[in-house]
Amino acid sequence: MTKISFFDTKPYDRTFFDQYVADFGFEIEYFEEKLNAHTAVFAKGSSVVVAFVNDTVDKYCINRLAEYGVGLVALRCAGFNNVDINAAAGKVKVVRVPAYSPYAVAEYTMGLLLTINRKLHKAYNRTREYNFGLNGLTGFDLHGRTIGVVGTGRIGRVFIDICRGFGMKVLAYDMYPVNDAPYEYVSFEHLCENSDIISLHCPLTKQTYHLIDERAIGRMKDGVIILNTSRGALIDSEALLEALKDRKVAGAGLDVYEEEADFFYEDWSDTVIKDDILARLVNLPNVLVSSHQAFLTEEALSNIALTTLNNIKEFADGMPLTNEVTINA
């Protein structure tokens, strides 16, 4: 029987993986700890580890896993920027879930935009205190506004469809444009200069690290709204913070943060957050921060579990790995 060590486990993970694992004949041992070089020891006796976005699968972790006989790192997410793929080559295989539900993330992104623009979070808090005043809750029509979408993979394209449904004009940027797209591809600089709203849907790579920095923000319209449901390090958080304080950026909807691994998915309500930038972002009235939850729908969780288990089955059966991540990925 294939034994799996499952890291950074949350109750909703167990709900969906336990629903299907018996059909595959695997044995899963769940750990709440994140996977890293120190916790890799928990994987002794397993041939597979299941990891998530904020696990640290660096060369030290990979060497430990290989030493303990682990042959496969199965990521239950699409991104793999937290894995040292070069170090994994020849030691352990790496697979991922390239698509679980583009609708989940795209719909959540629109939810962030609507909330930031129409101040829904503020209205909710006010009315719970029986304050029914409308001062300070003015937004703007999305219809006719220009939205710049960075990254036109599955999620980006679904988000574009939603935006077009609102009557918005779409400008798109992608290093690999889609052929015959019903929207306009432009340079990143043009997108920054002409968009009322900018939404990030691209992967984190060396080329996209801090794509939104002080220089890029300087090109943007005054009063732009920035949305990020992809990876936190696409944005230079310090540069964004300064632009928000100066009102160069009118608002930000952030489901990710570049230092989120130390905080997201955990309850820190009884502690003092030592990350000053995160603490200040959370407390700004024109920012909405959520804890990397855009993926969190029943459909997405079900697809994540099934794809991950199928990835492991291919490995256990000695088959080609459909969703393998390699150096050239």
Q: Are 21 and 309 in contact (CB under 8 A)?
A: yes
CA 317/CA 122 separation, integer angstroms? 53
Residue 107 bears catalytic tag: no
Residues 6+ apart with CB under 8 A from 125: none
Cβ burial, residue 179 (10 Å; 0-12/13-18/19+): exposed
CA 288/CA 120 separation, integer angstroms? 11
Residue 145 bears catalytic tag: no
Q: Which of 76, 96, 154, 260 is catalytic?
A: 260
Burial 226-242 (b: 16+ CB within 10 A, else e): bbbbbbbbbbbbebbbe
Q: Which of 292, 298, 299, 314 is catalytic?
A: 292
- The SS3 call for residue 171 is strand
What is the dihedral sign for C-alpha 20, 23, 29, 34? negative
E-strand stretches of the chain: 3-6, 27-30, 48-51, 72-75, 93-95, 146-150, 169-173, 184-185, 197-200, 224-228, 249-254, 287-289
CA 206/CA 309 separation, integer angstroms? 30
CA 159/CA 148 separation, integer angstroms? 11
- Rounded to 5 degrees, φ, ψ at 279 are -60, -40
Q: Which of 96, 201, 231, 258 is catalytic?
A: 231
In angstroms, how far apart are the furthest CA atoms of the chain? Answer: 64
Residue 129 bears catalytic tag: no
Active-site annotation, residues:
231, 260, 292
